[in-house]
Structure 1
Amino acid sequence: MLRKIPGARQGMLALIVCNATLMTAALHLSAAEAQEPYSPYAGTSPQRQVYFGDTHVHTGLSADAGGSGTRLMPEDAYRFARGEEVRSNTGQPVKLKRPYDFFMITDHSDGMGLISDLLEGTPNVMEDSSGRGYHEDFNAGGKQAADAMYRLIAQFSQGETPPALLYQPGVPAYRRVWERLVAAAEEFNDPGQFTTFIAYEWTSLVKGNNLHRNVIFRDNADKALEVVPFTMMPPVGSQDPKDLWAWMAAYEEETGGDVTAIPHNGNLSNGMMFPLRDDFEDGKELDAAYAKSRMTWERIYEVTQFKGDGEAHPLLSPDDEFADFETWDYGNLDVSEKKTDAMLPGEYARSGLLRGLQLQQTIGVNPYQFGFEGATDTHTGLSAPNEDNFFSKFTTTEPSPERMSHPGKTNPDLGIEGFSGAMYNAAGVTAVWADENSRTAIFDAMERRETYATTGPRIALRFFGGWNFKASDAHAPDLAQRGYAAGVPMGSEMPPAGDEAPRFLISALRDPMGANLDRVQVVKGWVNTDGEAKEKVYNVAWSDDRALDKAGKLPSVGNTVDLSVPSWSNSIGAGELSTVWQDPDFNPSEAAFYYVRVLEIPTPRWTAYDAVRFGVTVPEGVPLITQERAYSSPIWYTP
């Protein structure tokens, strides 16, 4: 122990002690440098984190939203999404269970600025008879406003919008609203906490067939304000997605920016979302140029949202017992054309992926090599994807005793009837595996397709494909590190590696505030040497004491839902499911895709909560129980 030494002697002794300490540390450092670092994370990149967000949200600035009573503006939507309590369009207090990590408002490109002028009754609107009519109807509110909204959508869908109401680039209000949207995204962007994106929805409709795309910028305002959104109405815009891709390419070339497009789920496209021929060029066969452009500009696809789930359809996948989930298959957006069975393969994600493999066989490029994401497409400004907090799609169906029976769009002449507010569902959410919570990192995750969709819950899902995974990897604490080191993550391509079947490392962790997991499935699609598309669903991990039957089917997990509360119990199911699965039917000469579907145990649907809270009788045929799920982006194998 050192005693206190006065003056210079104290300073000299301290210097000697310090030098000795440094020499000792240097010797230890030299020895350590010759060994592996103690810290297993030293010299490695951070393992990506999962972030949850919504990529498809409308506020009162969209004509169909504002026209039907939505008065919440972008600023309100952002405050709500980051966790603040707000008042809904019908005056109800509303707050999320937990805030989003990232968020984007995608108000419609066509008609941008129109609804504000219609409500205000600006001179250019009031000079037109249609404008005066809409001004009166929208300001009347209620059913009168809702009917006017449907009428406006129908006119727009059929290309019959009155010229005075055709708001496009060049109209002052158009640029003004775009600047407001950009400014709001910049104001609320808080990297690391709550990331916002500059975005809009390109609103292509072909005689009512929905081909919308959400256009997302990686960039900040300096670049995004060099343009205004592309529209679908001529003479400025176009209905053809190829023209949108050309606009995107020009944007990147002229600004040095980065932009991507996410197609709207296809169940209102009446078969046009995943075509085998070019509907805009007299049905000519798709070529490699089309395929390369689509694969370049549309990296991920909206597989689930309010207007139905778009993963699979029971007629296309009759052996899939979970294919009929929140299915919308009655017609197109404005109910001007009834759905036919022949249209279905062109609008569901699984069949789209299969068509992509078939086209790759003939033209050498897969145009439908997309990852999965989910969104709400809410038109209330309120992105509330949880069943017990459902604020619907339009203001007219915000919580009320009547909303389950609220009439929707019908066309009795075509036999399209029975549509009501009960058909809306609370989905969905986008999850991304990103290096950090920022515009650049999340956008880059979307472009490499390391994304997945959920119908609301925040399930943590990992999915890797490789050739050398071991069974023990599924239970390793460094599962993700092993996945990246020995394979490729969801959204990637696997190169061929001999005749051995690929192995897939899968981990699913339940939402910590949600329900247990029922099972994990792998969905495989492939094209045989004759060009025939095939699919199969494999149960690969499951909870509780169950066993597969000879056909590979798994008994039900059970049901703990108590509709009188409503509530459920996590006494069944599992908090975590993980496995390494090897394809038992692999053929190295056949191109294939694989994706994971995770199912929760049954839980109450929003209709069950409404039945108890409002004390109402549920209309016949309306489901009260749901089975929430997550869909990983695929991994592709190409021989």
Structure 2
Amino acid sequence: MTRPLHLTTLATCTVFLPLATLAQELPGLRPGMDVEYSPYLQEDFPNQVFFGDTHLHTSFSADAGLVGATTTPDDAFRFAKGEEVTSSNGIPARLRRPLDWLVVTDHAENLGIPAALAADDPVLTDTEWGAQLAEIAAPGTEEAMIASYEFWMQATFAGTDPLAGTPFGQTMWEVATEAAERHNDPGAFTAFIGFEWTSQPNGSNMHRNIIYRDGKDLADQKVPISSYDTDDPEMLWDWMEDYETATGGRMLAIPHGGNLSNGLMFDDITLSGQPLTADYAQRRMQYEPLYEITQMKGDGETHPMLSVDDDFADYGTWDKGSFGPDPKTPEMLPKEYARSAWMRGIAYEAELGTNPFKFGVVGSTDAHTGLSTAGENNFFGKVALVEPTGDPIRYEETITGRATPDPSDDLTHADALASGLAAVWARENTREALFDAMERKEVYATTGTRLRVRVFGGWGFTAEDMDRSDFAAYGYKEGVPMGGDLSAAPEGTAPTFLIRALRDPDGANLDRIQVVKGWTTSEGPQERVYDVAWSDDRVPGTDGKLPPVGDTADASTATYTNAIGAPVLGAFWQDPEFDPTQRAFYYIRVIEIPTPRWTTYDSVFFGIELPGTIAASHQERAYTSPIWFTPQS
């Protein structure tokens, strides 16, 4: 059958007629009108949340690989991408949902030494010290493993790198960066290059994780700095500056574990004993724009002795011994927690003109298993020794307080949190986009769940703006997001905030949204927590406190129900006590309904008794980076 001529003619015209001509002839287009339709090509604001971990160790870390960890950086990236891997103790492991990105941050101190030892690599064993280590570890027994770890620790205590002057550091660093390069898949999964600088003067935790924006070609040009080189953060910043100058690359550092720093993390003097200066403050915020506020070794938002009116302050509190011999004392606490640091930071800004503690926040795991597991029902623990097992060691292994003379200073693995995650607002899943979001502090922390939080602060928002279909676009146009700055308050106005929170799709309902404010006064910094949105039909009492949401968690089955709480909460809030002459910061805390802790899941799965000192349930949460207000000079 012959095709009708008019159809053939039409097909021919469609093929050869220029597309631009067709577009111009479409009805409804005005002369000179741009014919590119897609509205999303015109957007430039962050439109997605990407969840990841800035702090994970593998067998390339001496304090992991020498004590039983077998997972490699390659395993860590595969696991984060959703693949099944075998844990160090032979347990099949997999994430229910893959991460969007990961930084493997193995300790810089002899990074890769366990892997080199296992491979009998001559880059290690051809050295005198390396040959001694290999001989100690050769029997392969638990005793030999412990002895090899203690032999390595002697070198770290001495402060002299036993492999200095050898190619070991460069060789193993290139192996680590190759793993990140191999797994980096822009748009699908981001594998950052990174390491941990493990400063620990007298056992006080001053650790930082270093994250590169760059690829292997730049990162390989400079071997990571370690605590063998210095314990002083200012010298770390010098090293970072040298790297950026020499390579043209970029990096940032994320401190963590201030609750174990014995007052050093946010001290009023530098590590060398000098008073804080404007230059110090500027450099600290240039290289350390973020802080890891929650992780396995405790939560670092605030402490019940610092925030006595905050009903949610006592969460994941690790306030006993650090890694050294000095006991914890009350005067250390204000210099260990994020909220008090933010309050002292705005006071410093009034004095110095620059805020040394103007950081955003992320959560991460600090796992030494190579497995980034922040889920309560899938927690593989701190180290290989305490991977899932019914053995009492899973609960009883001492983590901190070993070096103090008082046994009551000990904190055990049962006290650990299955925390946390770093949430980043960005437009695409690439090293560049995620790094830039971290640098501008448009990030928030969760204790392990993937709840979504968004906040904008400005001067002219109204309650009706909560219902806008262009909520995000309008928020960026008329205000600033988390991590941003407000200034020049119009006369007679107060900051207004638009806040939205959505529960983890596979997780628990939300209890409430809170705004936490800190501000300066002539009597010193002040703080207040405001409940601004909550679930169910609760009414604040005469004391202004909101009643608890309830608790559906069942310790006997390690289950809960979403019969309480709300899947979505939102709030328009205006500061009722705003003074335009006072510096202030505001951050959002979102609280979930109670759910079982990992210890409860373990007790049910293994049929073991839950420790009497550990609560069966807890309320997971998210913390956003603050929005700061600075009065106009």
Q: TM class, shorter-chain normalised?
A: over 0.9
- The residue type equivalent to 2:314 in the other structure is D
Corresponding residue for 2:158?
160
Task: Report the 3-state secondary structure (helix = DSSP H, G, I; strand = E; otherwise coil) of the residue aligned with 1:253.
Answer: helix
State the Cα distance separating 1:147 from its structure 2 match: 7.6
State the Cα distance separating 1:475 from its structure 2 match: 2.8
Is the counterpart of residue 529 in structure 1 residue 522 in structure 2?
A: yes
Query: In the aligned structure 2, how far is the partner of 1:292 from the partner of 1:476?
Result: 38
Paired residues of 1:117 and 1:125 also in contact (CA < 8 A): no
Corresponding residue for 2:90?
91
**Residues 397-406 or 585-594, more deviating:** 397-406
Query: In the aligned structure 2, how far is the partner of 1:16 from the partner of 1:350?
Result: 65
> Could you tell me which of 349, 354, 359 is aligned with 1:360?
349
| Structure 1 residues not aligned, in runs of 5+ | none
> Could you tell me which of 491, 503, 506 is aligned with 2:483?
491
Matches within 5 A, 1:213-232: 213-232=208-227
Corresponding residue for 2:125?
122
CA spacing shift, 1:118–1:33, aligned 2, 3 Å = same
CA spacing shift, 1:368–1:36, aligned 2, 3 Å = farther
1:413-443: CA deviation from partner (whole Å, max 9, x where unpaired): 2454443220111100000001100000000
Is the counterpart of residue 289 in structure 1 residue 279 in structure 2?
A: yes
Task: Report the 3-state secondary structure (helix = DSSP H, G, I; strand = E; otherwise coil) of the residue aligned with 1:180.
Answer: helix
Aligned residues: 621
Query: In the aligned structure 2, how far is the partner of 1:244 from the partner of 1:414?
Result: 34
Query: In the aligned structure 2, how far is the partner of 1:16 from the partner of 1:220?
Result: 46
State the Cα distance separating 1:30 from its structure 2 match: 4.0
Paired residues of 1:274 and 1:355 also in contact (CA < 8 A): no
State the Cα distance separating 1:32 from its structure 2 match: 7.7
Task: Report the 3-state secondary structure (helix = DSSP H, G, I; strand = E; otherwise coil) of the residue aligned with 2:56.
Answer: coil
- The residue type equivalent to 1:194 in the other structure is F
Task: Report the 3-state secondary structure (helix = DSSP H, G, I; strand = E; otherwise coil) of the residue aligned with 1:277.
Answer: coil
Q: How much identity, in percent, do the aligned residues show?
A: 46
Paired residues of 2:210 and 2:252 also in contact (CA < 8 A): yes
Paired residues of 2:327 and 2:404 also in contact (CA < 8 A): no
Matches within 5 A, 1:302-317: 302-317=292-307
Corresponding residue for 1:57?
56
Paired residues of 1:392 and 1:425 also in contact (CA < 8 A): no
1:378-401: CA deviation from partner (whole Å, max 9, x where unpaired): 101011000000000101110111
Query: In the aligned structure 2, how far is the partner of 1:173 from the partner of 1:375?
Result: 29
CA spacing shift, 1:418–1:14, aligned 2, 3 Å = closer
Corresponding residue for 1:452?
444
CA spacing shift, 1:106–1:20, aligned 2, 3 Å = closer
State the Cα distance separating 1:568 from its structure 2 match: 0.4
Query: In the aligned structure 2, how far is the partner of 1:399 from the partner of 1:23?
Result: 64
- The residue type equivalent to 2:137 in the other structure is H
Task: Report the 3-state secondary structure (helix = DSSP H, G, I; strand = E; otherwise coil) of the residue aligned with 2:533.
Answer: strand
Task: Report the 3-state secondary structure (helix = DSSP H, G, I; strand = E; otherwise coil) of the residue aligned with 2:348.
Answer: helix
- The residue type equivalent to 2:332 in the other structure is M
Is the counterpart of residue 421 in structure 1 residue 417 in structure 2?
A: no
Paired residues of 2:517 and 2:585 also in contact (CA < 8 A): yes
RMSD: 2.8
Task: Report the 3-state secondary structure (helix = DSSP H, G, I; strand = E; otherwise coil) of the residue aligned with 1:196.
Answer: strand
- The residue type equivalent to 1:114 in the other structure is I
State the Cα distance separating 1:175 from its structure 2 match: 1.2
> Could you tell me which of 385, 388, 391 is aligned with 1:399?
388
Task: Report the 3-state secondary structure (helix = DSSP H, G, I; strand = E; otherwise coil) of the residue aligned with 2:380.
Answer: coil
Query: In the aligned structure 2, how far is the partner of 1:565 from the partner of 1:183?
Result: 44
State the Cα distance separating 1:566 from its structure 2 match: 1.1
CA spacing shift, 1:10–1:612, aligned 2, 3 Å = closer
Is the counterpart of residue 344 in structure 1 residue 344 in structure 2?
A: no
State the Cα distance separating 1:622 from its structure 2 match: 1.6
Query: In the aligned structure 2, how far is the partner of 1:257 from the partner of 1:126?
Result: 34
CA spacing shift, 1:582–1:399, aligned 2, 3 Å = same
Corresponding residue for 2:234?
242
State the Cα distance separating 1:268 from its structure 2 match: 1.2
Query: In the aligned structure 2, how far is the partner of 1:20 from the partner of 1:270?
Result: 72
CA spacing shift, 1:481–1:337, aligned 2, 3 Å = same
**What TM-score does the superposition give when structure 1 sets the normalisation length?**
0.91
| Structure 2 residues not aligned, in runs of 5+ | none
Task: Report the 3-state secondary structure (helix = DSSP H, G, I; strand = E; otherwise coil) of the residue aligned with 2:27.
Answer: helix
Paired residues of 2:379 and 2:598 also in contact (CA < 8 A): yes
State the Cα distance separating 1:177 from its structure 2 match: 1.2
Query: In the aligned structure 2, how far is the partner of 1:340 from the partner of 1:261?
Result: 28
CA spacing shift, 1:296–1:16, aligned 2, 3 Å = closer
Task: Report the 3-state secondary structure (helix = DSSP H, G, I; strand = E; otherwise coil) of the residue aligned with 2:242.
Answer: helix
> Could you tell me which of 243, 247, 256 is aligned with 2:248?
256
State the Cα distance separating 1:122 from its structure 2 match: 2.4
State the Cα distance separating 1:608 from its structure 2 match: 0.4
Query: In the aligned structure 1, how far is the partner of 2:285 from the partner of 2:25?
Result: 54
CA spacing shift, 1:627–1:14, aligned 2, 3 Å = closer
Query: In the aligned structure 2, how far is the partner of 1:27 from the partner of 1:386?
Result: 53
Corresponding residue for 2:108?
109
1:155-194: CA deviation from partner (whole Å, max 9, x where unpaired): 467x425x5x6345x3322111100110000000011111
CA spacing shift, 1:177–1:24, aligned 2, 3 Å = closer
Query: In the aligned structure 2, how far is the partner of 1:582 from the partner of 1:465?
Result: 9
Corresponding residue for 1:193?
188
Paired residues of 2:137 and 2:147 also in contact (CA < 8 A): no
Task: Report the 3-state secondary structure (helix = DSSP H, G, I; strand = E; otherwise coil) of the residue aligned with 1:319.
Answer: coil
Query: In the aligned structure 2, how far is the partner of 1:527 from the partner of 1:149?
Result: 48
CA spacing shift, 1:603–1:16, aligned 2, 3 Å = closer
> Could you tell me which of 549, 553, 567 is aligned with 1:575?
567
Paired residues of 1:475 and 1:578 also in contact (CA < 8 A): no
Query: In the aligned structure 1, how far is the partner of 2:242 from the partner of 2:18?
Result: 65
Task: Report the 3-state secondary structure (helix = DSSP H, G, I; strand = E; otherwise coil) of the residue aligned with 1:404.
Answer: helix
1:313-347: CA deviation from partner (whole Å, max 9, x where unpaired): 111111111111111111222x3211111111111
Is the counterpart of residue 510 in structure 1 residue 506 in structure 2?
A: no
Paired residues of 1:431 and 1:453 also in contact (CA < 8 A): yes
1:261-292: CA deviation from partner (whole Å, max 9, x where unpaired): 11123111111111111231xx2211111001
Paired residues of 1:391 and 1:398 also in contact (CA < 8 A): yes
State the Cα distance separating 1:103 from its structure 2 match: 0.5
Paired residues of 2:129 and 2:162 also in contact (CA < 8 A): no
1:440-461: CA deviation from partner (whole Å, max 9, x where unpaired): 0000000000000000100110
Query: In the aligned structure 2, how far is the partner of 1:370 from the partner of 1:273?
Result: 13
Query: In the aligned structure 2, how far is the partner of 1:492 from the partner of 1:481?
Result: 16
Paired residues of 2:318 and 2:411 also in contact (CA < 8 A): no
CA spacing shift, 1:224–1:474, aligned 2, 3 Å = same
CA spacing shift, 1:349–1:79, aligned 2, 3 Å = same
- The residue type equivalent to 2:216 in the other structure is A
Task: Report the 3-state secondary structure (helix = DSSP H, G, I; strand = E; otherwise coil) of the residue aligned with 1:357.
Answer: helix
State the Cα distance separating 1:38 from its structure 2 match: 8.4
Matches within 5 A, 1:367-446: 367-401=356-390, 402=392, 403-409=394-400, 410-411=402-403, 413-446=405-438
CA spacing shift, 1:20–1:166, aligned 2, 3 Å = closer
Query: In the aligned structure 1, how far is the partner of 2:28 from the partner of 2:18?
Result: 14
Paired residues of 1:74 and 1:105 also in contact (CA < 8 A): yes
Paired residues of 1:110 and 1:167 also in contact (CA < 8 A): no
Task: Report the 3-state secondary structure (helix = DSSP H, G, I; strand = E; otherwise coil) of the residue aligned with 2:181.
Answer: helix
- The residue type equivalent to 1:166 in the other structure is P
Task: Report the 3-state secondary structure (helix = DSSP H, G, I; strand = E; otherwise coil) of the residue aligned with 2:254.
Answer: strand
- The residue type equivalent to 2:178 in the other structure is A
> Could you tell me which of 181, 198, 204 is aligned with 1:203?
198
**Residues 16-25 or 354-363, more deviating:** 16-25
Task: Report the 3-state secondary structure (helix = DSSP H, G, I; strand = E; otherwise coil) of the residue aligned with 2:305.
Answer: coil
Query: In the aligned structure 2, how far is the partner of 1:268 from the partner of 1:606?
Result: 22
